[in-house]
A and B are shown apart, each in its own frame.
Chain A
């Protein structure tokens, strides 16, 4: 699960919000982004769909191996105000990756950071935490204690 951090505007903060934006729903980003009135942007790298080879470790801890690929989409853009936004998301949505990159750029702007964090990041964090807690609760409802039944003496 995505670890929670404070909403600071540094590398650690950025690593975190890029992950949150990647998990946001397209409809949410479409709806909320206009509230931040983002400046126009130019592309450094237009949205591009491709594959990331997913690696794992043998036995969970041993040598790396290639498990299979995941479909991802990425882009890089620059806002008219100068900030560069990068986004990587799962799936094929060019629109979602564009909005996520705009979000990343806004969050780096000292003047926009607080509003962008409140509007784009906090609701998603809230939703992710709720989803995770629900999955956990449902799984725990199937938790079981197995007992071995001792044989009677002489049986």
Chain B
């Protein structure tokens, strides 16, 4: 990394006009001219006064929840959108990697798509011919190149697209969640490619929800929330703030979430979680406001990013709960093996009617707990591995 600046974003704002009623016909234009009604659109501020710099050779992460403006920012960097205010300076050649296989045409053969996509990356036919063999070999698609792309499986398409994308000869790369697609094998290839980029001192701007990737690859990161930059800093501090982001807004004074619904005939009145190194015990107390016959009671566990990890209920466990009478309560104690990896988790208890569908009380994010195992796995589950190595 050097002190040279690769990207300088200076006070950038971006608004989108969202028409109330899409007046993209001439009639719409004329009628709005004549009637002089209130303006027919709403302004959405996608980005407000964004400023930051990315140094040459830096791996720079951008995080934020959905709709915070990350992708708009990336598109402005890629010069796809024009900012309403502010400037973006880019030094060096920039390739947006916003989506894999841009411009792929399903009606064309794999071979023709390679040349078409290559042209979009700026390679002449001659240059592509020189690289063609490598591209196809890397994608492991030698036998399929003369078939139409529409006959490819999605995995094959992604492989071909990725194999093409990494040929891009560029100084700056913009990456938008490409890691989210593809199977484990493909993700491994992506990570390997990232390591190569890092070795070759390329500048990468990287948008993701994956905090482990942020910690592992980024030199610095930026968090965007509500169209504004809330923090720029080390990957660790950004990852922490990101997790907090999901904690604060849904929690009230007592620390319990209000993201809760249902008819409340019966409801979860208390949840407690006891963590031991090998077992987790969840104690769930359910109170009945009114009588509820044969309720189905259960819970679900999600990780800090909101992804569902596991869960169960009394119907799945084939345990029939007797009818709850008004004013009575019942306590359930769930025990299960603690195979969760390090990290923070949310627990969402639920009380359902007999049909298992009608919600009596659904309580998202009722409690949070943190699993600490003193070792870091970049995955959700840590079932405890044993290893035996034998020399053959």
Q: Do A and B bind each other?
A: no
Interface set of B (CB-CB < 8 Å, partner A): none
